[in-house]
Structure 1
Amino acid sequence: MPEYVSEQLQAKRRASLARIQKLAFWLDDAFRVPVIGKRIGIDGIIGILPLAGDVAGLGLSSLLIAEAARLGAPKRVLARMGGNVGVDFVVGSIPIAGDLFDMAYKANRRNQALLQRWLEEATDDGSSRSSNWSSTAIVLGLGSGVLMSIALGRAVLAG
């Protein structure tokens, strides 16, 4: 990190990045499935429970968005993260096929990469927006998941 970024800010960002990496690992890659050799996390395991597991996974995934908001990530990064979580929630809600999708899509790892890329760019520029977006980010993640599930539900019931 450049010298003009204060040591305190560097330490805060390193600590946040470490938390984000740990959370994304546990949610998407914590366990290896022996027969197929793929990695699956807590999100994929609890997603097996119809609806309740997907809602719990949505809440856990929203923690990454809240961390991004706490760091002052711009709206475009928060929106993309919310979209990843929403897609994961909606498609993951489909029995069996959604669970397989969840193993491959890894929304939390995608969000980790988005946030890490933004954090590196913000640090290189020496610019960081400090904003209070935590509640907005959580609502964005939860709201996108709920809206997508309503649309999917209507499409299934209509067809």
Structure 2
Amino acid sequence: MRFDFPTGNDPQSVRRRIEAMEMILERSMVLPGTNYRIGLDTIVGLVPVIGDIITAAMGSYLVWEARNLGLPKWKLWHMMGRIGLDTAVGSVPVVGDAFDIVYRSNSRNLKTVKKHLDKHHPETKVIDQ
């Protein structure tokens, strides 16, 4: 699987970067024996505390990109709250690992950014495959 991270600051490049990061964090591989997709957030989150801190930092990248796009501060705080909840619950052994599989804070944050882009930069909209 190849991930392309465009380098421009235009909304289309930002959209492609955050979509790629969300894919890596939440849906980059299939859970063996199922059709359920997981990503680095779930895998790295298995390492107690440090794994959750690492994935929180990676998830914060989406918020940083959202800030660069001009999302309102209340939306940025909401996005950070999702990451905080994911990190806090994710650091609880066993329960946190199950929560990481189900909650997907990065997918929720991507949805927030996409709604903003679709409204303020409709030229970036792509038909989902």
Scaled to the shorter chain, the TM-score interval is 0.7 to 0.9
TM-score by length of 1: 0.69
Per residue, is there more helix in 1 or in 2? 1
Query: Which residue in 2 is equivalent to 1:29?
Result: 27
Query: Which residue in 1 is equivalent to 2:47?
Result: 49
Residues in 2 aligned to 1:23 and 1:72: alpha-carbon distance in whole angstroms: 19
Q: Bigger radius of gyration, 1 or 2?
A: 1
C-alpha displacement of 1:76 = 1.7
Query: Which residue in 1 is equivalent to 2:11?
Result: 13
Query: Which residue in 1 is equivalent to 2:99?
Result: 101
C-alpha displacement of 1:98 = 0.6
Q: 1:15 is paired with a residue of what secondary structure?
A: helix
Kept after mapping to 1: 8 A contact 2:63/2:79: yes
Residues in 2 aligned to 1:35 and 1:119: alpha-carbon distance in whole angstroms: 36
Q: Specify every segment of 5 or more residues in structure 2 that has no aligned partner in the other structure, as ranges.
A: 1-8, 123-129
Q: Specify every segment of 5 or more residues in structure 1 that has no aligned partner in the other structure, as ranges.
A: 1-10, 125-159
Residues in 2 aligned to 1:112 and 1:90: alpha-carbon distance in whole angstroms: 20
Residues in 1 aligned to 2:30 and 2:23: alpha-carbon distance in whole angstroms: 12
Of the candidates 107, 112, 115, which is equivalent to residue 113 of structure 2?
Answer: 115
Query: Which residue in 1 is equivalent to 2:90?
Result: 92
C-alpha displacement of 1:39 = 1.1
Residues in 2 aligned to 1:83 and 1:52: alpha-carbon distance in whole angstroms: 19
AA aligned to 2:74 is R
Residues 18-77 of structure 1 show CA distances to partners (whole Å, capped at 9, x for unaligned) of 001000000011010122322111111010000010110111010000000111111121
Q: Which segments of structure 1 move beyond 6 Å, counting only runs of 4 or more?
A: none
TM-score by length of 2: 0.84
Kept after mapping to 2: 8 A contact 1:85/1:107: yes
Using CA pairs under 8 Å that are at least 6 residues apart, name the structure with larger relative contact order, 1 or 2: 1
Kept after mapping to 1: 8 A contact 2:59/2:83: yes
Cα RMSD for the two superposed structures: 1.3
| 1:39 counterpart = 2:56 | no
AA aligned to 1:68 is A
Query: Which residue in 2 is equivalent to 1:83?
Result: 81
Question: Could you tell which deviates more after superposition, 75-84 or 45-54?
Answer: 75-84
Count of aligned pairs between the two proteins: 114
Residues in 1 aligned to 2:73 and 2:81: alpha-carbon distance in whole angstroms: 12
